[in-house]
Amino acid sequence: MAMTHGDVKGLVLPPKVACYQVVVVPVPFKGVDTKRISHECQAVKTALQGAGVRALVDEGDNYACGWKYAAWEMKGVPLRIELGSKDLEKNQVRVVRRDTGVKMDVIRVDLVERVKGLMEEIQRDLYVVAKRKLEESIQKVETWDEFKEALRQKNLVLAPWCDEVEVQNDVKENTNGENEAGAKTLCTPFEQPELREDTLCFASGRPAKKWTYWGRSY
């Protein structure tokens, strides 16, 4: 999950598995009513929790807002809500998505439903992006040379295999590099591509029994 969704800022967690789905960050400035900001942040948290959203307020006063933003982005919390004096005047909050970085101002009365909708949208978007990346990284091969080239490009390889353990061991040994682990079988897809009677195992040349995914750890 970390490798699939993460980026240079840190984790990007799907809402369904995130410990906290929303973090509320007060944005205080000198001369403003910080107690009121704190109270409203707690009210936002309470409203979200009442709707089943896992939320918390970061009221630590030993770090600036920018530091908090970066820290929670690193931890992968799906949504960040910012609330300051200008937001109070407009009866709104600033909502920031972790996955895309998109920022939006949301009226308080619409916040709970908007957050619930965003949770579903983020979950769906992360799945779609991950599925597309996976499909784009799969390369179907039938020969040893094609297999080695696909590995060199760090692809997930779908190849016909004779289903013999010693052949898998040979493949692992023959693809084990100085700084790279040897390739091994990962799983067998339930939906098998057509396997012609004359299809041979890419590694042994024996009759193939099934198509199997291969790859190496990086």
Residue after which a domain boundary falls, among 134, 161, 184:
134
pLDDT number for residue 203? 97
CATH number at residue 199: 3.30.110.30
Q: What is the 3-state secondary structure (H, E, C) of the chain?
A: CHHHHCECCECCCCCCCCCCCEEEEEECCCCCCHHHHHHHHHHHHHHHHHCCCCEEECCCCCCCHHHHHHHHHHHCCCEEEEEEHHHHHHCEEEEEECCCCCEEEEEHHHHHHHHHHHHHHHHHHHHHHHHHHHHHHEEECCCHHHHHHHHHCCCEEEEEECCCHHHHHHHHHHCCCCCCCCCEEEECCCCCCCCCCCCECCCCCCECCEEEEEECCC
Question: Domain total for the chain?
Answer: 2
Residues 11 and 53 in one domain: yes
Domain containing 51 equals 2-134
Residues 33 and 48 in one domain: yes
Instruction: Take residue 82 and report the two structure tokens written for it.
Output: 């910012």
Query: Residue 52 — left, alpha, or beta (φ > 0 → left; ψ -120 to 50 → alpha)?
Result: left
Residues 195 and 94 in one domain: no
Instruction: Take residue 19 and report the two structure tokens written for it.
Output: 């410990």
pLDDT number for residue 178? 64
Residues 102 and 152 in one domain: no
- Rg of the chain (C-alpha set): 25
Residues 111 and 152 in one domain: no
Strand 184-187 and strand 79-84: the pairing is: unpaired
Residues 67 and 111 in one domain: yes
Residues 119 and 145 in one domain: no
Residues 120 and 158 in one domain: no
CB-count exposure of residue 110 (10 Å: 0-12, 13-18, 19+): exposed
pLDDT number for residue 30? 72
Rounded CA separation 28/40 (Å): 12
pLDDT number for residue 80? 98
pLDDT number for residue 86? 93
9, 64, 87, 126, 130 from 20: Cα distances, Å: 17, 21, 23, 17, 21
Given a contact cutoff of 8 angstroms between Cβ atoms, the answer to whether 81 and 91 are in contact is no
Dihedral sign from CA coordinates of 185, 189, 194, 195: positive
Show pLDDT as tens, one digit a residue, over the chain (218 residues).
888 999 999 999 999 999 999 999 999 877 778 899 999 999 999 999 999 999 999 998 888 999 999 999 999 999 999 999 999 999 999 999 999 999 999 999 999 999 999 999 999 999 999 999 999 999 999 999 999 999 999 999 999 999 999 999 999 999 998 678 899 999 999 999 999 999 999 999 999 999 999 998 76
| pTM for this model (two decimals) | 0.82
Residue after which a domain boundary falls, among 113, 134, 155:
134
